[in-house]
Structure 1
Amino acid sequence: MKVNLPMAVSEILLSGLATLFATLVGVWIAFQLDRKSENVKKKKRAFQHLKAVQKELEQNESIGWNTHSLIREMQELDEPEADHYAPQLFMTDAWDAAIGDQLIDIIPASLYYELQELYQETKSTNELIRRLRIEAIDPRLGDIIQDGSWKFKNWTYSVYYYDQNRDEVEHLGLGPLILRHCRDIAGDASSLQQELDEVISELEKELTENGEEQAGNGLD
């Protein structure tokens, strides 16, 4: 029996190419499934982080207004009954944990930068609060201080700081400076909670739909 060698070689090559193609397609499909699975896991982690950050913002809103009330009370005292201040520090643990998981890839960039800016101010204010907490209450508290044409009641020492809005160096009592920051932080924390709520709801919906799809495909 005579064998057609070129035809046999062609069949072997075609068979090999078909096997290689099927292998490459299988590898590509497996890669896509792994990538999709990893993306889902990343979004699940982001979802948990955002829920924690949202709760932390709620707590910081409360801390901000509580400290604001404490400092306003101090401004009105004439005879203090304590030796030191004890304002509560703002919380940052949830945000610190979240930024390590590249949230910027999951949430809108504008929201990410708003959160980043708020937490920068929060940490900066915590440093001021730490300084105030170790300051003994001024024994001249309640005395009227004359500063040019401006009179004010003394109750905390003054500090220099850079005012970004005015783009210049200013000086102000440490307590009033913290009061300003606490008011701003509390207000921003409130509005960002609402923005986060929309992102969290959308992410939760996406994860739920994805979970139902996986269950339908027997991949869950």
Structure 2
Amino acid sequence: MLVNPDLSLRAAVTPHQYQWIASPQPGVERVMLNRVGGEKGRATSIVRYAPDSWFPHHPHPAGEEILVLSGTFSEGDTHYPAGWYLRNPPGSSHQPSSAEGAVIFVKLGQMQRGESRPVRADTRDVSRWTVRHGRECCPLFSDGIEHVSLERIPAGATVLGGPVESAEMLVVEGSLREHAQEYERGSWVRLPPGTYPDLVAGRCGACVYLKTGRFANPVSLAGASC
């Protein structure tokens, strides 16, 4: 399966364009934002867990990245409410579930081979936030190849301050605007190398998951769904 597969091309999906597709596991649905391969492929998705839904224990040979958007997402006996950021490195495994239901943003099979450190970050913790370039930033991951953060962007401010090698963003709160196009909460945008001075926060500002850098090619097409 191919969904927005070419990383050199711009891609965007707004909530009005969401198409919920059933996963192999009852009670779990996905919106496919980017996919190369089938159930064991490289993927970026919005995943929705119904209450009391789960996936069997499974490995992630090429890693997995998760941002909990609503509800509570669980791995075994550990529970992560909305706002938690998880990064499971290549070779990790887990048994995901949700007792109350959850919506998560998930990236599968997109990590570098050498990445080995798991990350658990509660973005609700005010001590994790700093002011950088005139706006609040919650750093989540950086390895010299890619940089991941949550950014609170004031109304009308430019999202990207200069040229980027590549950029990917998910609007967590508020909205973004570019000319006549508005990207409301839940919108996903992927940008190729370039400058984007006209991409700004909407009239109420925005909180955005932002990844910039040289995006990794999949190290493997093996690994189960989240």
Shorter chain as denominator, the TM-score bin is: under 0.3
Q: Which has the larger radius of gyration?
A: 1
Normalized against structure 2, the TM-score is what?
0.20
TM-score (ref. length: structure 1): 0.20
Which protein is richer in strand relative to its size?
2
* Structure with more helix by fraction: 1
